[in-house]
Structure 1
Amino acid sequence: MPTIELDDLDRRILDLLQQDGALSNQDLAAHVHASPPTCLRRVRRLTKAGIIQRRVAILDPALMGAALTVLIEVTLDAQAAAQADAFEAQLLAEPAIQQCYRVSSGPDFVLVALVADMAAYQALALRCLTGDPRVRNVRSFFATRRSKFCTAIPIHHTP
């Protein structure tokens, strides 16, 4: 995958878009001290290069009926690649699973799920985890408080 060089203007644009992806091109240009056409060209270039993958609205899970965050470790019964791929495909299709990571040195997967309540978690666990014959072990941790939630990737500016 080709990489592109990021200059300070690119970094300032990316910083601002991570804070507010809904900024108009005019407002973005004003904040980064560039002309609107320059800003638009830069954003298109960053998008085409895959650095900007998408722009989204981040919702409050509790206000959307998903008040319980669950961190889940899953260990599969066998380590065959095809088995892990099939299990992962099932997880990717589940809307309650917000994040899915294959990990090493411990469980096979670490998941982040958002559900309405304990009953919704139990239904999710039965549907995707404990009811699956490929799964050997599941450990779930229930968040009691979210101290930090950030989607921004730190961007280092050149001095």
Structure 2
Amino acid sequence: MKEINIDETDLRLLDALQRDASLSNQSLAERFNISPPTCLRRVRRLRESGWIESEVAILDAGRIAPLLTAIVEVSLDRQDASALDAFEQRAVAEDAVQQCYRVSPGPDFVLMVTVGDMPGYHALAQRLFTNDANVRNVKAFFSVKRAKFSPRVPLPGLD
């Protein structure tokens, strides 16, 4: 991917699209006082250069059948690069794993997991943790209430 220089207008476009990716090119152009063709070129350039990774719809989890969310800490016995990579590849391949972070110090990974129910969590735990001889310790915290959820990334100079 080609690196690009971004300016304040690009940052403002990125921020607006983080808040609502369904904004039309026309409304973005009007909001930032640029022409629609210029706005379209800027947004296309931000996509092509990787600044915009994807555009998704964020669903209201409360409207879906009850879901169980867990924050899971995972510690491995061996932390060499191949062992960390192997666990990470298995974790990110699981649909129930919404986020996967390598962390330090403390556990090796923190996972954000969403499943339908406790049997669903148990099945995931069996596949991902129990069947892996390198997993030393797993500590799960089950959510009782989601107070905030936002995928928005703070951008320098805008907050």
TM-score (norm. length: structure 1): 0.91
Distance 1:86 1:66 in 2: 31
User: Where do 4+ consecutive residues of structure 1 move more than 6 Å?
Assistant: none
**Which amino acid in structure 2 is aligned with residue 42 of structure 1?**
R
Q: Kindly tell me: are residues 89 and 66 of structure 1, through their superposed partners in 2, closer, same or farther at Cα, counting changes over 3 Å?
A: farther
- Offset at 1:147? 1.0
- Offset at 1:3? 4.6
Instruction: Give the CA RMSD over aligned residues.
Output: 1.7
Task: Name 2:107's counterpart in structure 1.
Answer: 107
Distance 1:126 1:61 in 2: 25
Deviation per residue, 1:29-69 (Å, 9 max, x gap): 12222111010011011112211111111112343346211
Contact 1:96 1:113 in 2 (8 A): yes
Q: State the secondary structure of the residue aligned to 1:139.
A: strand
Distance 2:48 2:29 in 1: 19
Distance 1:122 1:14 in 2: 39
Summarize the alignment of residues 114-153 of structure 1 with structure 2, pairs less than 5 Å apart.
114-153=114-153
How many residue pairs get aligned? The number is 158
Q: Could you list the runs of 5+ residues in structure 2 that have no partner in the other structure?
A: none
Distance 2:7 2:31 in 1: 16
Distance 2:37 2:106 in 1: 50
Distance 2:24 2:125 in 1: 42
Q: Could you list the runs of 5+ residues in structure 1 that have no partner in the other structure?
A: none
Residue 37 (1) aligns with residue 75 (2) = no
Task: Name 1:4's counterpart in structure 2.
Answer: 4
Deviates more, 1:47-56 or 1:3-12: 3-12
Distance 1:58 1:124 in 2: 23
Q: State the secondary structure of the residue aligned to 1:144.
A: coil
Deviates more, 1:133-142 or 1:75-84: 75-84
- Offset at 1:130? 2.0
TM-score (norm. length: structure 2): 0.91
Q: State the secondary structure of the residue aligned to 1:121.
A: helix
Q: State the secondary structure of the residue aligned to 1:14.
A: helix
Contact 1:72 1:139 in 2 (8 A): yes
- Offset at 1:148? 1.1
